[in-house]
Amino acid sequence: MFNKTVAELSTLLKAKKASSVELTQGYLDRISKYKELNAFISLDPARSLAQARAADERLAKGQAGPLTGIPIAQKDIFCADGWLTTCGSKMLSNFVAPYDATVIERFNAAGAVCLGKTNMDEFAMGSSNETSFYGPVKNPWDTQAVPGGSSGGSAAAVAARLAPAATGTDTGGSIRQPAALTGITGIKPSYGRVSRYGMIAFASSLDQGGPMTRTAEDAALLLNAMCGFDVRDSTSVDQPVPDFTASLHKSIKGLRIGLPKEYFGAGLGADVAKVIEAAIAEYKKLGAEIVEVSLPNSQLAIPCYYVLAPAEASSNLARFDGVRYGHRAAEYKDLSDMYCKTRAQGFGAEVKRRILIGTYVLSAGYYDAYYLQAQRLRRLITDDFNRAFEKCDVILGPTTPTTAFNLGAKKDDPVAMYLSDIYTISVNLAGLPGMSIPAGFGADSRPVGLQLIGKYFDEARLLNVAHQYQQATGWHQQAPKGFV
Amino acid sequence: MSFDRKDVIKIAHLARLDITEAEVTATTESLSRILGLIEQMNAVDTKAVAPMAHPQDAALRLRDDRVSEPDQRDKFQQIAPATEAGLYLVPKVIE
C-alpha cells in the first residue's frame, strides 16, 4: 500500500478498495514508527482523520476528484487554519495559524487530507534542514546524511513512504535540491503560478510553492490543484492553467534538450556526472536531440542571490517583532528593547546572518553597489536563459554537484553550504520552472537528481519530459532500505 | 572590503537584533566571508543593464476601493502576546 503512487491510491479509493480513513491512519502509524527521521514538526491526527471521513463521504457520493481522500504532508511554511505553523522557527513555535494559505485552501477544496506539517530549515533558509529549531531531518537513504533543504522534511517523508506526496517551496533550490538528495520528484513552477498567499515569505520575488512526489504523474496531479490566479497574491499571474496530466504521454521524439556547458565543468562530482551522462543517453534513445548551450553568467548566480534573497528576507522578517503573534521576550526595558530581545531569542544563527547581510546591502551608501548591481546581474542571468531557449526546448543538467553530504559536514561553513545550490539558484532568479527527478546513485549509493529547466509556463512540457524518462527507467521506483 | 566589529554592531542595531560580545566576533568573521562571496559580482560591468526586480516585470494590479475582508479582529488577536479592548499592547512609548 505505501509503495503506491497518488494516482494508484486515487484509483483504489474510487474503486472502494481502500478508504481515506484507512490510508490516513496507515500513514500516521508509519510516521510514528519512523519518528527518528524527524520529518514532521506537528501532527493532528483528530483533524486529519476528520478530513479523511469527510473525503470518504464525498467518495461514497461519487463526488470525488483525483486528490479526494489522498493524505498530503504540508511543509510547515503554509498557514493552515487551526494548525501549529512554525516555519521551523522558535519565533513561531506558538503560532496557530488563524487562516488558510491559498495552497491549503485549494487542497481542502480538492478533498485532500492534511497529514501533518513537515520539518524545514528555519524560514526556509538552509540547504540541509539543519537550521530548523526542531532539529535536523535524517535522509532515509542513509541516516548519516542530510535530506537537503529547505523542504527536507517533505522530501524525507515522501522518500520513506511516510506520505504519498508533500508540498515544498523553492527560493533557491529548496524543492529540487532535497528531491535530488532523497531520490524523489519535485517541481518548482514558474514564478507566479502558485499563490504565495499564506506561504510565509522568505524572498518574495523568488519564492514559489510546488509538489514533491515520487513520480512526474503525481506531480502533475498535485500541480493541477495548486496552480491558478489568486487576487490575494499581488504577483500571481493570470495565465491559463492546462491540465498537466494531459500531455504526459506525448512522445518526446525530436525534443531539443540543451546541455549548458557551465553545468558540466569543474565542481561537478565525477559520480554525479556519470549518472547524468547515462540519463542523456536514455533521452537520445527516446528520440531527443541534444544541443550544447551556454549560460555564461552562471557563476554569478550565487553572489547575486546572496544579495537579493537576504535583502528581501531582512524586509519580510521585520514583521516578527513580538507584537501581534509569535514569540515575545519575557523581560525588556522598553519597546525597542522588546523588539531586539524578541528577535535575538526567536531567530536562529542562519536567519540572523541573512537578516544582517540583507540589512547591510540595503543600508545607505551600499544600496547601489550591492542591491542594484545584483538586480542588474539578475537580468544578465535571465537573458542567458532566454538566449539558450532559442536553441532548445528544455535544459538538462545535474540538480546538485554532489550527492547528500553528511549531517554536520557544512553546518559551520555558510559559504560551503550556499555553494550546494549552484545549479538551482539561477532558475529562481530567472523565475523559470525547474524540476528534479531521480536518475541513479552516486559512488556512496546516495541518490542523484537530474534537473530539467523549462521555458516560462512550460511546466506541462517538463512533466512530459520527466514522465517519459520514468516510463523508460525505474530510478523513481527505488526505495530506501528499511522503509518498505 | 570586510566587516569590523563596529559595522556588525551597527547593522545588528538597524535590524533590531540584540547581539552579545561573543556573537559579534563570530558574526564579523562569517559576514566577512559572505561579503567576499558577494563581491565576485563586481567583476562584471553592468552599466548598460537595467535592474530586474521581478521575473515577469509585471505592474501591480489595482482593485476597486471597497471593503472585501470580513472583520476577524477577535480571532486574530487570540494569538497575540498581549491585547486589551481590541488593541495590541506594547511597552509605553510616550511619557
Q: Could you tell me the residue ranges of all domains in chain A?
A: 6-255+458-477
* Of A48, A128, A132, A150, catalytic: A150
Q: Which of A191, A323, A380 sits opposite B55 (nearest CB)?
A: A191
Between chains, do A377 and B44 touch, taking CB under 8 Å as contact?
yes
Q: How far apart are CA A54 and CA A111, in angstroms?
A: 8
- Chain position carrying cell 523568488: A206
Clarify whether A154 is annotated catalytic: no
Nearest CA in chain A to B53: A375
* Amino acid at the residue A149: G
Domain membership of residue B30 (yes or no) is yes
Contacts of B46 in chain A (CB under 8 A): 373, 376-377, 380
E runs forming strands in A134-184: 166-169
The DSSP call for residue A9 is H
When scoring A373, A415, A421, A426 by the number of chain B Cβ atoms within 10 A, the one with the most, hence best to mutate, is A373
Domain hosting residue B39, numbered range: 5-43
Contacts of A364 in chain B (CB under 8 A): none
Between chains, do A377 and B12 touch, taking CB under 8 Å as contact?
no
Between chains, do A235 and B54 touch, taking CB under 8 Å as contact?
yes
When scoring B6, B23, B30, B72 by the number of chain A Cβ atoms within 10 A, the one with the most, hence best to mutate, is B30
Clarify whether A336 is annotated catalytic: no
- Half-sphere exposure at residue A143, Cβ-oriented, CA atoms within 13 angstroms: 10
List Cα–Cα distances, A292 to A95, A257, A462, in angstroms: 49, 8, 18
What is the distance in angstroms between the Cα of A366 and the nearest Cα belonging to chain B?
12
pLDDT tens profile B41-84: 999 999 999 999 888 777 788 889 999 889 999 999 999 999 99
* Of A10, A19, A75, A411, catalytic: A75
Between chains, do B44 and A300 touch, taking CB under 8 Å as contact?
yes
Class of domain A6-255+458-477: alpha beta
Q: How many domains does chain B have?
A: 1
The whole-number average pLDDT for the span B2-26 is 94
- Burial tier of B43 (Cβ tally within 10 Å: 0-12, 13-18, 19+): exposed
Q: How far apart are CA A187 and CA A174, in angstroms?
A: 10
| CATH number of the domain within which B10 lies | 1.10.20
Residue B2: pLDDT above 80? no
Q: Are A100 and A79 in contact (CB under 8 A)?
A: yes
Contacts of A370 in chain B (CB under 8 A): 38, 41
Q: List chain A residues with pLDDT less than 50.
A: none
Residue A416 near chain B (CB below 8 Å): no
pLDDT band at B1 (very low <50, low <70, confident <90, very high): low
Residue A406 near chain B (CB below 8 Å): no
Clarify whether A285 is annotated catalytic: no
Domain membership of residue B60 (yes or no) is no
Nearest CA in chain B to A204: B54
Q: How far apart are CA A450 and CA A461, in angstroms?
A: 15
- How many Cβ atoms sit within 10 Å of the Cβ of residue B37? 16
3-state secondary structure B5-53: HHHHHHHHHHCCCCCCHHHHHHHHHHHHHHHHHHHHHHHCCCCCCCCCC
Q: How far apart are CA A440 and CA A271, in angstroms?
A: 10
Contacts of A337 in chain B (CB under 8 A): 91
Q: Are A302 and A282 in contact (CB under 8 A)?
A: no
Contacts of B37 in chain A (CB under 8 A): 302-303, 306, 415, 418
pLDDT of residue B59: 77
Cα Rg for chain A, rounded, in angstroms? Answer: 21
Q: How far apart are CA A219 and CA A211, in angstroms?
A: 6
Residue B35 CA from chain centroid, whole number: 18
Q: Is the dihedral of CA B53, B54, B57, B63 positive or negative?
A: negative
